[in-house]
Amino acid sequence: MENNLILPALILVPFIAGFICWLVDKFDQQLPRWIALIGMLITFGLGIALWQNGTFSYSMGGQTPSWAAEFYLPWIQTLGISIHLAVDGLSLLMVLLTALLGVLAVGCSWGEIQKNVGFFHLNLLWSLGGVIGVFLAIDLFLFFFFWEMMLVPIYFLIALWGHKGSNGRSRVYAATKFFLYTQIAGLIMLIGILGLVVYGYMMTGMIGFDYNYLMAVAHRLPPEVAYAFMLCFFIGFAVKLPVFPLHGWLPDAHAQAPTAGSVDLAGILIKTAAYGLLRFVIPFFPAASAQFADIAIILGLIGIFYGAFLAYQQTDMKRLLAYTSISHMGFILLAIYAGNILTFQGLMIMMLAHGLSSAALFIMSGQVYERLHTRDLRLMGGLRGQLQYLPFFLMFFVAALVGVPGLGNFIGEFLILMGSFNTYPTFTIIAAVSLVFAGLYGLILIHKALFGVPNPEQQQHYTSPLKDLSAREVSILMLCAVGLVWLGIYPQTFLDVSQSSMQWIVNSYMPVQEVVEVVQQTATQLEHVEMQ
């Protein structure tokens, strides 16, 4: 396939736009905002062009994914490293989500960020460029390069422009905690990557980091070695997802991050981990993944209830939303390890819908803070009677987050639960019960913020009457609302695009999963015979 220049452009446009933002900052404070917005709109436009021109079909029995577009350029040839980018339905939808939320992140920080505007947009756009690189890179050295590179700008976003948390912890503390967690996890994943490269060299006498080459190496590994390498990859992705008990960085990072940083973290960054599990862990280590499935799903179920329970207890609006992310990511693990086409397609819709709904709620949290100068739910109340647009949007996005039918999150959860019931009926029923808890924390958030009377202690700190949402703020929220309704009413648009890549992952995983189940059943029967 000939080189498709749109792929490197998708990564380079945010990098170049971010650099220009930094350069023009000293001339005008507004200029970086416009450059960043135009840069992300161009990126989104390139993604749409790729969607229009790409063919997302599946070749039955193919050993490798069917890429809709590829870009290849030799880089460090002695080490077998190349700039190899490729896109299929899975990565294209993730790139489009990243570009769209990038536009929203620039828009929501328009009034919030007043100092070092150019450097802020440099960090924001470079983190987005790094994320797009993660979704497109299929050379594992390049993938790891982008994986680590996207963390540094996020660190600066939290450390320099963050808020002081309600528990008194500083933004630098939150940024450092985030960086340490993700850096250590990245190093564990690097052990897995280098282990595959070394084994490949022992088998073939060739050093290489290419996706197809390392997948072939992984399939020829001894079972215990494959399991160890699979765990290295899993831990690397599990911290970013985050999976219980590796989630410690998330609540502080969210609570202290600026609004655009929270949109980046909740909407995009945690999706890179789910993408990594689908792109690398399942196809590279199908047998080890099937063996590990029960443990992964149990961790996911603990996360679902643990996240919901802690969300229910929070008084800070952003911390409450952060714990809901931990809860929702438990469904992602159930979907990945149940491993059939229904759960994978449900996972795709859920990632898109969660990205839009959580991003919108974090944007609204910033809008509420701008008006009330607090995120403490105990100091709120009575917003419904004082504002026209804000209460409607808050109720809409909370309804989306908790999975009300007609919106995207419901479709995602429904497909995941329906697909996983045959394989894991008990786990699926337990996961379905958790949806009641989601409704509970959603109702608490709405009740405390919108109903009752305004807190008299807090009311003196803000202007009366309160300023309702501006046209810019309503436009940002309308984009998310339209996306969620589209996902809820006509998800087929997106299911058609991701069908081919999901089917390929299912085909690489399902036969092995069935073999592992038969082996486990046989072992159980033998134990019964021995006992008798």
Is 402 in contact with 361 (CB distance < 8 Å)?
A: no
> Which is it for strands 81-87 and 69-76: parallel, antiparallel or unpaired?
antiparallel
Q: What's residue 2's pLDDT?
A: 56
425 is a domain residue: yes
Is 400 in contact with 485 (CB distance < 8 Å)?
A: no
Q: What's residue 530's pLDDT?
A: 55
Residue 17 backbone dihedrals phi, psi, to 5 degrees? -60, -40
Q: What's residue 487's pLDDT?
A: 92
Q: What's residue 38's pLDDT?
A: 92
59 is a domain residue: no
Q: What's residue 188's pLDDT?
A: 92
Residue 3 backbone dihedrals phi, psi, to 5 degrees? -65, 130
Q: What's residue 373's pLDDT?
A: 78
60: Cα separation from own chain's centroid: 29
326 is a domain residue: yes
Q: What is the pTM of this model?
A: 0.89
Residues contacting 92, CB < 8 A, separation 6+: 47, 50, 51, 54, 56, 68, 497
Q: How far apart are CA 456 and CA 377, in angstroms?
A: 13
Q: What's residue 75's pLDDT?
A: 87
* Total number of domains in the chain: 1
Q: How far apart are CA 267 and CA 336, in angstroms?
A: 19
58 is a domain residue: no
What is the DSSP secondary structure assignment for residue 162, as one 8-state letter?
Answer: P
**487-513: b or e for each residue (b if 16 or more CB lie within 10 Å)?**
bbeebeebbebbbbbbbbbbbbbbebb
Q: How far apart are CA 378 and CA 375, in angstroms?
A: 9
240 is a domain residue: yes
Tell me which residue range forms the domain holding 124: 3-53+64-529
Instruction: Name the β-bridge partners of 76.
Output: 81
- Per residue of the chain (532 residues), give pLDDT as tens: 456 888 899 999 999 999 998 988 878 778 888 999 999 999 999 999 888 887 665 544 455 677 888 888 888 888 888 999 999 888 999 999 999 999 999 888 887 777 788 888 999 999 999 999 999 999 999 999 999 998 889 998 888 888 765 454 678 888 888 889 989 999 999 999 999 999 888 888 888 888 888 988 888 888 899 999 999 999 999 988 888 888 888 888 888 888 888 888 888 888 899 999 999 999 999 989 888 988 999 999 998 888 888 888 888 888 888 888 888 888 889 899 988 889 999 999 999 999 999 999 999 888 888 877 778 788 787 777 777 888 889 899 999 988 888 888 899 999 999 988 888 888 888 888 888 887 888 888 888 888 877 777 766 666 667 777 788 888 999 999 999 999 999 988 888 888 888 888 888 776 555 555 544 555 555 555 455 5
234 is a domain residue: yes
Q: How far apart are CA 156 and CA 150, in angstroms?
A: 11
Condensed to tens digits (0 to 9), the pLDDT of residues 10-56 reads: 999 999 999 998 988 878 778 888 999 999 999 999 999 888 887 66
333 is a domain residue: yes
Residue 468 backbone dihedrals phi, psi, to 5 degrees? -75, 175
306 is a domain residue: yes
Q: What's residue 234's pLDDT?
A: 93
Q: How far apart are CA 442 and CA 438, in angstroms?
A: 6
Q: How far apart are CA 452 and CA 74, in angstroms?
A: 64
Q: How many CB atoms lie within 10 A of CB 232?
A: 20
